[in-house]
């Protein structure tokens, strides 16, 4: 079970993160588009739900101190 302890918002995007389970998800509050996020520590290692990670989600994660490789740009 994921216990979301960190919430980020960027534009229409809501991002919920569970550092203890290294998982999170994102959802567009207007369109309902959503996806999952998987981390190793504070580094994003995978996502699903969309073809490419939305720029607003990537920027919010970076702004919160998460590391995103070039493949997520």
Q: pLDDT tens digits for 19-73? A: 999 999 999 999 999 999 999 999 999 999 999 999 999 999 999 999 999 887 6
Cα→Cα distances 69→4, 16, 39, 45, 65, Å:
23, 20, 12, 8, 13
Cα→Cα distances 59→1, 2, 42, 67, 73, Å:
27, 23, 14, 10, 9
Model's pTM, two decimal places?
0.92
Strand order across the beta sheet in which 43-48 lies: 6-10, 13-18, 23-28, 34-40, 43-48
């Amino acid at each position: 079970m994921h216990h979301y302890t960190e919430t980020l918002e960027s534009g229409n995007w809501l991002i919920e993160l569970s550092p203890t389970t290294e998982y999170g998800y994102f959802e567009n509050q207007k369109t309902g588009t959503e996806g999952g996020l998987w981390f190793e520590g504070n580094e994003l290692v995978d996502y699903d739900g969309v073809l490419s990670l939305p720029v607003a989600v990537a920027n919010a994660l970076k702004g919160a101190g998460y590391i995103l490789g070039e493949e997520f740009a």
